[in-house]
Amino acid sequence: MVAYRSFCANYFVLVLISFCLLHFRDRINRETLTLTLPETNTTAVNDVKEDAEVVDRGAARSNYIVRFVEYKDAEDHRAYLQGKIELDGWEWIERRNPAAKFPTDFGVVAIDESARTSLIEEFERLELVKDVSADLSYSRSVLAEGAGRVGAFVDGKKRPGKIFSSMSYSEGEYYATDISNSTISWNRHLLMQCFLSKKMMDSSLSIVFIYYLRSYCSMVARSFTKSVPCSRYQVTSFFGARGLWEKGYTGAKVKMAIFDTGIRANHPHFRNIKERTNWTNEDTLNDNLGHGTFVAGVIAGQYGECLGFAPDTEIYAFRVFTDAQVSYTSWFLDAFNYAIATNMDVLNLSIGGPDYLDLPFVEKIWELTANNIIMVSAIGNDGPLYGTLNNPADQSDVIGVGGIDYGDHIASFSSRGMSTWEIPHGYGRVKPDVVAYGREIMGSSISANCKSLSGTSVASPVVAGVVCLLVSVIPESDRKKILNPASMKQALVEGAARLPDANMYEQGAGIVHLLESYEILKSYQPRASIFPSILDYTECPYSWPFCRQPLYAGAMPVIFNATILNGMGVLGYVESPPTWHPSDEEGNLLSIRFTYSEVIWPWTGYLALHMQIKEEAAMFSGEIEGNVTVKIYSPPAHGEKNIRRSTCVLQLKLKVVPTPPRSKRVLWDQFHSIKYPPGYIPRDSLDVRNDILDWHGDHLHTNFHIMFNMLRDAGYYVETLGSPLTCFDARQYSTLLLVDLEDEYFEEEIQKLRDDVINTGLGLAVFAEWYNVDTMVKMRFFDDNTRSWWTPVTGGANIPALNDLLAPFGIAFGDKILNGDFSINGEHCRYASGTDIIRFPAGGYVHAFPFLDSSESAATQSVLITSAMAKADSPILGLLELGEGRIAVYGDSNCLDSSHMVTNCYWLLRKILDFTSGNIKDPVLFSTSVRRAAALYLDDNQLPSRRTDVDFSVYSAVVGKELVCRSDSRFEVWGTKGYSLHVRGRSRRLPGYRAIDLGRGLNSTVETSNLKQPQWIQKNKDEHSANNFFGLLYRDELDMPVLVASHWLVPALIAVTGSFAFLKLLANSAEAAPA
């Protein structure tokens, strides 16, 4: 009878759960959970307006950072300034924090806005002053559900401060609420309960119930890519951390600096909180947000349900963010200095943004790593977009971490490479360095329970925990001799496991492999190496984009930018020029030039290969293999007498094909692209409110990577030109592709392009963007960081410059901002903030569609399209035969740019290239109904004009610059003005690319940087004007699949099976009952 009652109770619970599952199924699928921004952030726009009014009145006082050329006591710096500056309107601000007892290299002064310019000039004239910059305000915020890409701008308006990474989380335990659909959170919670096997077995639940509930849990787990139950699957178990714990390595004697929101002193999840420091203006050391506690838990938590990697690590909690999630540069600089002074071993920084020109911050990172602090930082949550790496994780001396899910796939939110520092005149580096699990990671909460978060800002502490564990492997007496930022990165990248379905700019070296890195460190001897160490054209997708397009004779040099890691010392030198060693005779068909940093500091440098196939290989098809070697040396370490030397090896396996026909070769103009930073380059689509800066590189292999793949699939060979238009031979190419360009043009470029099209038969395809001076003026915003107004340098594209370039052909764009949908022959496309064509020759083919001109409303940043707004036919597409060449112009590039694309227009690009490259005319595009009998023409005074209030030379590679072919052009024109132009007493007119071996030794030549000594910090007043904020914050965007349609099936099966079991038990009970 007792068993019978027990079963009835179990059955009742079973049925109840089944009905609950059925009842809440639809609600689970639909319900969304919302997090709201703190009030201090939601009033950002009003704050900006108020600040602007204060500035206009000249009554405001702002804080500025004065950096000095040497470290001294703060009082000494103060006395120096007071003794040298005679002007009034400023005062020294005393900083009361733990760093005050150490020498410092900067001071904070308050300056009256009315005297700002004159005082800054006076400060910077002083011999011991390095520079003066605004004390930037940093802010981070949780991600509101449905907010999309929340960054430095909300609804097109600048939020106060410099935005750092966001991390979404919930105060609810065991699961995060920062996702677009609560199904995943609910399932996550259910799974955690499902797999608490001990608790379930101890309960009175029946075996049948447990079996079916576990079956349901397994189905749920499979439905969204290996979710991680808290009891059985810790993130530490995926890396094999227990294997090192059992060897006695638990992070002991490792000093871990966590720059975040602080931590509670008596939190039961941590056994070794050594020090808590507060760098904010709030009088507390505690974490009232939970972010710092979570990060610390992932690194060093000891609680069984959310274990950290290194539970014995010494935690040093640096509270650098207030409860309102605000910080300042001066707080960070003081905290960084304190980390240096107190000899931290590892530092985690789950922050970042696109501004790699924020010099006080960037240079302090260099100084930190130069002082042998291993820094780990999140690469950013701006994926799946390419060219979205965040600083400081994109710095070569920092371990940049990307995120993956438990299916070992790159997480959708994880930012992709390449680095964009080098664009447009070079090629980016491989980043991230490694990836780690960053989705639904368990960590400590404020309330001493566990919760889960997602994002690369979660993956970063995962790797930081791994690093702490690895540091503890080395005996404490030997750590500083062996471990440094370079040697640790070597151990991580060389031990990493490569993911099969991701390229190097998504995964770096691959997923961190703790035990492999452990084996490397056990026998590590200081050495230098190259990362990546292999470039294999036959290995796709890892070697994308190189594996997508083989080399061939006559092409622009292909650039591969590798990183030199110098584990021998913080300072190193290249002993002799890099050398190419082919493995056989065919390898001599490859000519390589090298550009590299002669001085390697701190710990890292770069090595760029400029690869070009010789003319005699025009018909060669096959593979070229060999090695590139470069010798590095460093000064003797402490106690040593001999110089440390090492030879680095980069293995090459290249695929070569015969030179393609001219009709299949397309040249992409990268030279005339300008991106943020250093200037306010606005976005291309004005419909995008929360990402107003154009910062993704505008490169074939960043935000145009999908278009690149499409062109390769269509059989085109696409090359990149990072030099002026005089630096390519038009006879080798069918089409020059100009897309979304912002720079001006040399007069020589305009003349050459005219000749190339009319006389040489070059095709020209132009995809423009919006340009409207009134809109640009109204798009300006007041930046509370720099206490200055930011105004767009140009529009989405530089239409006045493009009009100059197209003037010889009788073509010009206007200043309308057009929006709308249209179709051509059944192909639908969205025209998003494009411009119109206002000049086009007679005989050309022009397509016009009824669009809304939103230039006025876009200027006010409050576009609201209504049916009452009039639409008029506007010309947007023109096609023209002129002389020997063919031209196609289109007023919008958004449909080719993967950053904010609504619909793609790859179909249109293919038809345009069919025309410009092969003279294939689509019957719809070339319908007689759109052929112009008379020219489309507006007077000069109606053409868009340039802004007169912007010094464009600051941002331009043309204005005020010398025309010269750079190192990404053909070797024979390096350092010259290009083809058909006289320079240095000789002509570079080359009839068909004569074979010129510019090799040194084994077909290689060298061009080094001008850097002769590690003087990385240069005084430049122009670099600290209005360009110092990070812009976009990380966000935690999840892409887990929702539960399948069979959600209802398992609960139903549970109920039916339970019913049969219940009936059987009744029958058995009846049979067993006494008569």
Q: Where are the beta strands (DSSP E) in 32-184?
A: 61-72, 90-93, 104-112, 129-134, 137-139, 153-154, 157-158, 162-163
Contact by Cβ (8 Å): 549, 717: yes
Report the candidate in 134, 235, 147 with the shortest Cα–Cα distance to residue 437: 235
Spell out the SS3 assignment of 947-992. CCCCCHHHCCCCCCCCCCCCCCCCHHHCCCCCCCCEECCEECCCCC
d(CA 261, CA 326): 10
Catalytic hit among 131, 135, 178, 260:
260
- For residue 292, report the phi and psi dihedrals to the nearest 5 degrees: -65, -40
Does an H or E element contain 5, and which?
A: helix 2-30
d(CA 591, CA 589): 7
Count of helices and strands (H, E) across the chain:
25, 43
Contact by Cβ (8 Å): 594, 649: no
Q: Which tokens in the block code for residue 594?
A: 């090298």
Is 457 considered catalytic here? yes
> In sequence order, what are the beta bridge partners of 314?
255
d(CA 582, CA 728): 28
Is the preceding omega at residue 660 within 30 degrees of 0, hence cis? no
DSSP state of 923: T
- Residue 812's identity, in one-letter code, is A
Is 56 considered catalytic here? no
d(CA 615, CA 554): 6
d(CA 913, CA 886): 10
DSSP state of 724: -
Catalytic hit among 267, 269, 291, 610:
291
Does an H or E element contain 198, and which?
A: helix 197-202
Catalytic hit among 445, 457, 634, 723:
457
For the chain, what is the largest distance between any 2 Cα atoms, rounded to a whole number of angstroms?
122
As a whole number of Å, the CA-based R_g of the chain is: 31
Is 180 considered catalytic here? no
Spell out the SS3 assignment of 427-442. CCECCCCEEEECCCEE
Q: What angle do CA 764, 706, 394 make, to 5 degrees?
A: 110
d(CA 752, CA 724): 10
Does an H or E element contain 594, and which?
A: strand 590-596
Q: b/e for 172-186, b at 16 or more Cβ within 10 A?
A: eebbbbbbbbbbbbb
d(CA 825, CA 932): 20
Give the catalytic positions in this structure: 260, 291, 457
